[in-house]
Amino acid sequence: MGNKVERFFKIGCFCIMMISALNVGAQNLINGKKIFETRCLACHQSDGGGVPNMNPPLDGSTNVNGKDIARMVKIIQNGYDERVALDGMYYNNAMIAMPDLKEDAIADVLSYIRNSWSNKAGLVTLAEVKKSISKNKVNKK
């Protein structure tokens, strides 16, 4: 008897955990979309396709789908005007710095761009953003 109740309880807890985990992901992506629309869309466009020769596409970008989260956090916080080849193309606009974007907003917008259009990369957590910021600080010295 006791065992049954315990098992029922454990399964129930597990289900609630899974549902809330999914909800957190969905909520992050909704926030990320809002941030994208207000802060990024003008340059990178709503379809993530960018503007040829000016602003790079985020859709299908090797870097956006890649593992270097710290680089993207740095780009958002400090801006980006390196004029290096991105997937073989050059872009002559400069990305503005956004030092006012909060850490959780950065996590949400990165999660959004990594999971929109044709992109299917992992979500970015607040912890990863925090880790990236301290890593970027150390590398600057």
- Smallest gap from residue 46 Cβ to ligand HEC (A): 13
Question: Is the CB of 4 or the CB of 53 nearer to ligand HEC?
Answer: 53
What count of Cα atoms within 13 Å lies in the side-chain half-sphere of residue 84? 4
- Smallest gap from residue 78 Cβ to ligand HEC (A): 11
Q: Which of 125, 121, 136, 113 is nearest to 56 (CA)?
A: 113
- Smallest gap from residue 14 Cβ to ligand HEC (A): 34
Question: Is the CB of 6 or the CB of 87 nearer to ligand HEC?
Answer: 87
- Smallest gap from residue 122 Cβ to ligand HEC (A): 15
Question: Is the CB of 13 or the CB of 54 nearer to ligand HEC?
Answer: 54
User: CA-to-CA distance for 102 and 126, rounded, in angstroms?
Assistant: 10
Count CB neighbours of 113 within 10 A. Answer: 24
Question: Is the CB of 12 or the CB of 122 nearer to ligand HEC?
Answer: 122
* Exposure b/e, 6-41, CB count within 10 A at least 16 = b: eeeeeeeeeeeeeeeeeeeeeebbebbbebbeebbe
Where does this chain bind ligand HEC (CB under 6 A)? 39-40, 42-44, 55-56, 58, 61, 63-64, 72, 75-76, 80-83, 86, 91, 93-96, 98, 109, 113
